[in-house]
Amino acid sequence: MTLLQVKNLNIAIDTPDGRIEIVKQVNLSVDKNDTLGIVGESGCGKSITALGIMSLLPTHSMVSGKILLEEQDLLALDEEQMCRIRGNRIGMIFQEPMTALNPVQTIGVQVAEALDLHKQLQKAEITSRVENLMEKVGLNVRRFPLNLYPHQLSGGQRQRVMIAMMIACRPDLLIADEPTTALDVTVQEQILELINDLAQKYGMALIMISHDLGVIAQTTKNVMVMYAGRIMEQGNTVDVFYNMAHPYTYGLFVSIPKTGSSRLETKKRLKSIPGHVPDLRENIKGCPFAPRCFRAQDTCRLQDPPPIAFGNGHTAWCFYPLVEKKSNHAAG
Amino acid sequence: MMLDRFREILRHGMGNRSFVIGGLISLVFFIIALLSYAWTPHAIENIDIKNKLLEPSWTYLLGTDHFGRDIFSMLIMGARNSVIVAFVAIGIGIGAGVPLGLIAAAEKGWIDELIMRFNDFTFAFPSLISAIMITAILGPGAVNSVIAIGIFNIPVFARVARGAALSIWKKEFILAARSAGKEKFRISVEHVLPNIFSILIVQATIQFALGILAEAGLSYLGLGTQPPAASWGKMLNEAQTFLHFAPQLAIYPGLAIALTVLGLNLFGDGLRDVLDPKLRRIR
């Protein structure tokens, strides 16, 4: 059953240099208990899409399209109604655990925040639930009493507190915006596992935003590759990773450093995608990736690429995909 | 927790010269002001022309003025007067200014514009002149001068609160709190305010000194505290006539004002350094 459906989402911000279209024509859907990964370089609109779903964009941004949470259009809600959805039905975990907790409040108070806001509970009931949550995220209450302050915890521990805070009301959907980027690799593993376990246990759908393909491969069933605010390729994670169709997805893949490949056997340099993410202030014609693409032809620079389906919902927006298309019917 | 924090501030403050000196002067000033409730050597309402303009003696520690009133007692009562005026004025400034600043930072857009442009408007008038204008309209008196000084504290606190709050609103924990479903009002009160508290405290000590100065100025002009109540500014005013043959009448209240304002400003400066860990390390 579809939990979240985003239809033709456009997000633009007016700046002194003119209007910037940060997100353009994004469609996505997440089923209950489903996991969706959003990948892309920095500045390609991943986080903005997530903030758009939460209605937490800067006040002067313009949003159009539809964001349906079980038939209810979130864009039509006012701030007050939206406050009842945030933290209650949709939770969000942020990238920087060092700054995502209020330095002057105890962790107990912060974890209790969502419960306090959305559920009518007695004080004692809230405390026992908070203690329970802390155990669930792997922070033993005896070692980590609720009256600790964030600066007394490490990054990984703070991220656990953040997770506890966001799953407190057992939301239907959990958005994790690069939850492990600021953590070191060993902790990263534990946090990902924790998020996945909790999502499964509580039946929460998960949107995992990352620039790390490894994280996406490990945690998600479906994936969406974004570039310059547009979807480049989407589909089942296995399909996309084994039969990548879009040159951009391929570029992301070959940019991953592999162990042993660079030192002795071959003196190959780490591959990267040439060029940089386009300046969105400039009017982009055709495929935004064309200037950096090794397969780009003149058509790419002039026309918007059509969606090309490869079966099983695997779609790429490209004139010259890397794999043969299965049928001529374009599917959205 | 509060006590621990207090102790920590004291511990760091001990290494800061302006915090210690300014704190001591301010402390003495507050103790003297409090003392007036329990005891003054003489009642200041007692006019005793026979003993006018006496030299300092054991009965009259700093001598007497032209009405034969004890100058020392008047200074003590003046300290109390200054404290009350400055406290209430700052209360008005914080009570109205901080909420305005918080609202401006939280709402942004036209509400922010409206509040800040109104602030600019009040800022455009020199505060003492505006205070004179307000007391001229409302009539002279201690209460009206407090209101006048208070009104001109509002934009100061609004501006400081807004600036500090804006920087807090950019922090990720605010986004996290919003993701938890907290509305702007509660975020302002529960997350923003505690984080800008130290900045407001420092501003309050500085405004306190300015408040004392403004009260003295208004009373000097005869617009503030009215007789028989004592005020340092009024003492200065009355001393003018006798400046040639009894300059001590002007020197004592003048010294009291200068010392208190100096002490409070030093304390404010020191407190800012102590509360800001970044500045603390440099020293």
Quick check: A165 contacting B, CB < 8 Å?
A: yes
How many angstroms away from the CA of A1 is the closest CA of chain B? 24
- Tell me how close the Cα of A275 comes to any Cα of chain B, in angstroms: 30
Tell me if A114 and B180 make a contact (CB, 8 A cut-off).
yes
pLDDT digits (tens, 9 = 90+) for B189-236: 999 999 998 899 999 999 999 999 998 988 888 888 787 778 898 888
Decide if pLDDT at B282 tops 70: no
pTM of the entire predicted model: 0.82
| CA distance to partner chain B, nearest, from residue A246 (Å) | 34
Residues of B in contact with A84 (CB under 8 A): 181
Q: What is the spatial order of strands in the sheet that A307-309 belongs to?
A: A90-93, A173-177, A205-210, A35-39, A222-227, A230-236, A315-317, A307-309
- Range in B44-58, B79-93, B96-110 the model is least confident about: B44-58
Please tell me if residue B277 touches chain A, with a CB cutoff of 8 Å.
Answer: no
Please indicate if any CB of chain A lies within 8 Å of the CB of B198: no
Asked whether residue A265 carries a pLDDT value surpassing 60, the answer given is: no
B173–A contact, CB cutoff 8 A: yes
Mean pLDDT within A97-124: 90
Which pLDDT value is given to residue A314? 92
The mean of the pLDDT values for chain B is 86
Query: Between chains, do A103 and B180 touch, taking CB under 8 Å as contact?
Result: no
d(CA B72, CA B44): 9
Report yes or no: A208 and A38 within 8 Å, Cβ to Cβ.
yes
A-contacting residues in B 24-83 (Cβ below 8 Å): none
pLDDT of residue B283: 42
Does the structure show a pLDDT above 50 at A329? no
**Which residue did the predictor score with more confidence, B278 or B115?**
B115
pLDDT of residue A264: 53
- Extended beta strands in chain A, E state: 2-15, 18-31, 35-39, 61-69, 72-73, 90-93, 173-177, 205-210, 222-227, 230-236, 307-309, 315-317
SS3 label, residue A37? strand
Q: Does A114 touch chain B (CB under 8 A)?
A: yes
| Residue B10 to residues B14, B76, B270, B273, B274, Cα–Cα distance (Å) | 6, 28, 11, 12, 9
Q: Is the pLDDT of residue A95 over 90?
A: no
Confidence of residue A331 (pLDDT cuts 50, 70, 90): very low
Residue A31, CA distances (Å) to A223, A232, A331 in order: 13, 21, 19
B125 in A contact zone (CB under 8 Å) = no
- Chain B contact for A78 (CB, 8 A cutoff): no
Element (H, E) at B3: helix B2-13
The mean-pLDDT minimum among B50-59, B105-114, B255-264 falls in B50-59
* pLDDT at residue B242 is higher than 90: no
**Statement: residue B33 has pLDDT above 80:** yes
Please tell me the total number of residues recorded for chain B in this structure.
283
Distance CA A285, CA A302 (A): 6
Look up the ipTM and state it: 0.82
Of residues B106 and B12, more confidence is placed in B106
Contact between chains at A113 and B177 (C-beta distance less than 8 A) = yes
A325-329, B201-205, B238-242, range with the lowest pLDDT? A325-329
Provide the edge-to-edge strand list for the sheet that holds A18-31.
A18-31, A2-15, A61-69, A72-73
pLDDT digits (tens, 9 = 90+) for A59-70: 788 999 999 999
In this structure, of A207-216, A278-287, B67-76, B233-242, the range with the lowest mean pLDDT score is A278-287
Least confident of A13-17, A101-105, A223-227, B45-49: B45-49
Chain B residues within an 8 Å CB radius of A95? 172
Nearest chain B CA: its distance from A17 CA (Å): 19
* 3-class secondary structure, A78: coil
pLDDT at B91: 96
Give the span between the Cα atoms of A321 and B3, in whole angstroms: 66
* Higher local confidence (pLDDT), A60 or A329: A60
* A306 or A43, which is more confident: A306
Mean pLDDT, rounded, of chain A: 87
Are A100 and B180 an interchain contact pair (Cβ–Cβ within 8 Å)? no
The residue type of B118 is F
When scoring A104, A116, A158, A209 by the number of chain B Cβ atoms within 10 A, the one with the most, hence best to mutate, is: A104
Q: Which of B6, B40, B71 is nearest to B248 (CA)?
A: B71
**Angstroms from B177 CA to nearest CA on chain A:** 8
**Interface touch A113/B179, C-beta < 8 Å:** no
Instruction: Note whether B181 contacts A118, CB cutoff 8 Å.
Output: yes
**Chain B contact present for A146, CB below 8 A:** no
Say which residue the tokens 């209605």 belong to. A55
Mean pLDDT of A300-305: 89
The partner residues of A14 in beta bridges, in order of sequence, read A19
Work out the pLDDT band at A266, boundaries 50, 70, 90.
low
Do the chains contact at B194 and A105, CB–CB below 8 Å? yes
How far, in Å, CA of A313 to CA of A236, rounded? 7
Mean pLDDT of A84-93: 92
Q: Which residues of B touch A158 (CB under 8 A)?
A: none
On whether the CB atoms of residues B235 and B222 are closer than 8 A, the answer is no
Residues A91/A166, Cβ–Cβ less than 8 Å: yes
Contact B182 A87 (CB under 8 A): yes
Residue A332's pLDDT band, with cuts at 50, 70 and 90, is: very low
- At B5 the pLDDT is 75
Residue B278: band (very low, low, confident or very high) from pLDDT cuts 50, 70, 90: low
Which CATH architecture does the domain made up of B2-282 adopt? Orthogonal Bundle (1.10)
CB-nearest to A83 from B172, B181, B190 is: B181
pLDDT value of position A261:
52
- Lowest pLDDT segment from A119-123, B55-59, B128-132: B55-59
Residue B31 pLDDT > 60: yes
Tell me if chain A has a CB within 8 Å of the CB of B175: yes
Answer yes or no: do A87 and B173 touch at CB < 8 A. Answer: no
Contact list in A for residue B183 (CB cut-off 8 A) is: 79-80, 83
CA distance A80 to chain B (A): 7
CA distance B147 to chain A (A): 34
* Cross-chain CB nearest to A87 (options B109, B179, B195): B179
